[in-house]
Amino acid sequence: MSVEAYHNYGKVYLVGAGPGDPELITVKGARILSEADTIVYDRLANPELLSMTSEKSEHIYVGKRPDKPSVSQEQINHILVTKAGEGKTIARLKGGDPFVFGRGGEECEVLRSKEIPYEVVPGISSSLAAPAYAGIPVTHRKVARSFTVVTGHTIKNTETFTNWEHLVHSDTLVVLMGTRSLPQITEKLIKHGKDPQTPVGIVEKASYSSQRTTLGTLGTIVDEATDISSPGTIVIGELAAKSHELAWFQTEDAKETTVSNSRLRTQFVG
């Protein structure tokens, strides 16, 4: 279809779904979901968000799975362009924030090249939400006055990072999509001068009831997190240790413990 065919195009909204808990989507994001004709959604966008959509809306799943057959980015771009060419209002629903390692920039470039109108609706990035749900501040006036966010997943056959010397000096280093590269990440940081005793926290499935936080140090975390799963957020820096005292989110395990203890107290009182 030629560019000229898009005179009656619709509009594409790139909507950040947040880290997992459906209540963390923005008010604007929820409104767009309710109004959109077509929802094109990722694996990391909580499926519960689809309950906010119109009963007449079309839902297209385009989630990517590591090392498994998935919809390519080129196919996703084609879907967005085609549906917009049909005059549809499209909500491109992404986990976290569209512009934080969400390929939102690439999709905007394609839409702009086709002269298709689009709008970006920011979402809460897991780089902020995951540490928060684990009780880990990424900044603190007395400990860390800056933080760095990087991705542990890069274009195939390329180095994970190229600026290790810079990353070593980050007050708080947040690594997204880095659970599979954890041994390489810790090894490189230590090799470039990061103290092996630096606290590390790994937050899995942040804001879900199944959230789990594993704490350790740069030198021990690989051995302590042998069964970590994706999605996971790695936090490296002195503030990671704050999770011991500031963790507030009640996970499934915590709830089971609370119920069990409550029953014990009830039996004792009775």
The order of strands in the sheet holding 38-41 is 58-61, 38-41, 89-94, 11-16, 118-121
Is 64 a known active-site residue? yes
First to last CA, the chain: 75
Contact 17, 93 (CB under 8 A): yes
Three-state DSSP class for residue 226: coil
In whole angstroms, what is the distance from residue 51 CA to residue 244 CA? 36
Contact 177, 101 (CB under 8 A): yes
Report the amino acid identity of residue 32. I
The length of the chain is 270
User: Which listed residue (42, 83, 114, 205) is catalytic?
Assistant: 42
Is 42 a known active-site residue? yes
Tokens of 161: 């990072």
Give one DSSP letter per residue of 153-218, joined into a string: --STTS-S-S-HHHHHT-SEEEEES-GGGHHHHHHHHHHTT--TT-EEEEEESTTSTT-EEEEEET
Which residue carries 């939400």 as its tokens?
129
User: Which listed residue (21, 97, 177, 194) is catalytic?
Assistant: 177
User: Which listed residue (11, 28, 64, 188) is catalytic?
Assistant: 64
Contact 236, 203 (CB under 8 A): no
Tokens of 154: 């890069």
Contact 28, 34 (CB under 8 A): no
Task: Find the helix packing angle between 73-85 and 104-113, rounded to 10°.
Answer: 40
Residues designated as active site:
42, 64, 177
